[in-house]
Amino acid sequence: MDSEALRKFSALHPRPAGLTLHYGTAGFRSAAQQLDHVVFRMGILAALRSKAVTATIGIMVTASHNPEEDNGVKLVDPLGEMLHPSWEEYATQLANAEEQELQKVITEICQKAAVNLHKDASVFIGRDTRPSSKKLSQSVIDGIQVLGGQYHDYGLVTTPQLHYMVCCQNTQGQYGKATLEGYYEKLSKAFLELIKQSHCSGEFQRHLKIDCANGVGALKLSEMKPYFPQEVLFHIYNDGTKEKLNHLCGADFVKVHQKPPGGLDMKPNERCCSFDGDADRIVYYYKDAAGHFHLIDGDKIATLISIFLKELLAKVKQNFKMAVVQTAYANGNSTRYLQETLKVPVHCVKTGVKHLHHKAQEFDVGVYFEANGHGTVLFSKAAETKIRQLVKEEKDNAKREAAKMLENMIDLINQTVGDAVSDMLVIEAILALKGLSVQQWDALYTDLPNRLLKVQVADRRVIDTTDAERRALTPPGLQEKIDALVKKYKLSRAFVRPSGTEDVVRVYAEADTQENADALAHEVSLAVFHLAGGKGAPPQP
């Protein structure tokens, strides 16, 4: 390692005194002006990780659905998955090291992770449309160059596109071509093949209004438009030419506020969807004839995809194991519908994409979505190989057709990570193939009324949970109190969990009516306030 280069570059990216940041599920996120030293050092870490695993590593500059003034950075592992947990600790150590300790910390990481500094390093870089992203990605490059690494800067891309490119590169093109054109071609071809098999005609299926959160999704969707025939009518709103990123729009805004985004004019029964700022989440919605707003979140997206895949798997008559993975935030009625009506096994895991992804890998077909609209489907290597073989060799027409649809689904789904563009195309294809309107999809089941609250506490660590965060182990007496409160209401459940990012405790409650869900959430909040060291005034109803 060139100590002189490290010293010289590090001086250009000084760490502000007293600032400590932690690498979490979303990488680092903070106000953009605080991040220059962090992204420089993550350029170094990406090169180290690449040398350690002798593969290309991705690094994405984005803060997803956060306000435009924020930014962030996260690393992508060789198969497009999230950074290995042991390296999350190295990321935190490196980001917070004092200037003069930097070389020592790098040497320690090399020892712990058996990094051979003489090996080559290769890093793919992507960024979102924030005003600060271009300068920050230049700082990433400085970091990579300190260790003499090679890099390819893709410039403006969605987060899932970068994950996709990294996977393509490290599978020597087996997953696809590591270019934007390769991504557009693979997805559009699979989508067009699928809708060719649809028997329903009618323009109602093809119109879709898309709120792109004034983010990078708008640019990439526009680039993709020429790959679709004219009858596919995707109308782009909030394209970033007029308003600020994520301001009063985007998937997170729509989900949290349960109302349509600004900048999109909705007529009754029109199908609409929203991406988030870096296009790795999607939610659908519509207004009914009476003007009521209906949200179709990640739970209902997972349900639609599960219905479709289950039907196809039954037709190919292979003994594939399929399951849906959810978190405790999934609506109780979605879990009931999947288990009781569809007869699909459902597994609950801790909040955070890495937990869902990890669990979904245990099945031949693993569907996972968070309620916020982030999710995808994973196919085991064995299932994929078998499906592709059936397409080539199966004599029975119905079986071969079903296998062909499954093959196109495998190609259309971005298995590396939740991808708003890919998920949207999957949903649009299923709705067309099943001849379903957005209202019919919504009517599969009715969500139980629910409420999400947060309670300020002195220290969130006093709450410890078990059973995929559905039960509280500490402080003593809290879970018993929650159990007693839940007994008062019909179809009810409630749980509490510490926030991953701030000193608040999140409270979720659902019940048979909105009034009861609100009352239960409030009563549980009071219990948390009194038993877990609440701060400030007690929660008000």
500 is in an annotated binding site: yes
d(CA 209, CA 192): 19
The token duo for 67 is 């306000």
Residue 525 known to be catalytic: no
- Phi/psi zone of residue 172: left (φ > 0), alpha (ψ -120 to 50 degrees), beta? left
Residue 534 DSSP class: B
- Amino acid letter, 340: E
50 is in an annotated binding site: no
CB 130 within 8 A of CB 35: no
Measure Cα distances from 373 to 175, 196, 271, 331, 332 in Å: 24, 27, 16, 13, 16
End-to-end, the C-alpha distance of the chain in Å comes to 59
71 is in an annotated binding site: no
- Torsions phi, psi of 251, nearest 5? -60, -40
User: Under DSSP, is residue 455 helix (H, G, I), strand (E, B) or coil?
Assistant: strand
370 is in an annotated binding site: yes
153 is in an annotated binding site: no
Nearest to 372 by CA among 22, 89, 21, 25: 25
Beta bridge partners of 29: 72
Q: Tokens 């040398």 identify what position?
A: 51
The token duo for 310 is 């289950």
Q: Where are the beta strands (DSSP E) in 203-292?
A: 207-211, 233-237, 272-275, 282-287
139 is in an annotated binding site: no
d(CA 273, CA 375): 15
User: Which listed residue (64, 132, 133, 422) is catalytic?
Assistant: 64
CB 60 within 8 A of CB 67: no
497 is in an annotated binding site: yes
280 is in an annotated binding site: yes
372 is in an annotated binding site: yes
**Per the annotation, where are the binding residues for substrate?**
370-372, 497-501, 506
**Per the annotation, where are the binding residues?**
64, 276, 278, 280, 370-372, 497-501, 506
**Per the annotation, where are the binding residues for Mg(2+)?**
64, 276, 278, 280
Question: Which residues are part of the catalytic machinery?
Answer: 64
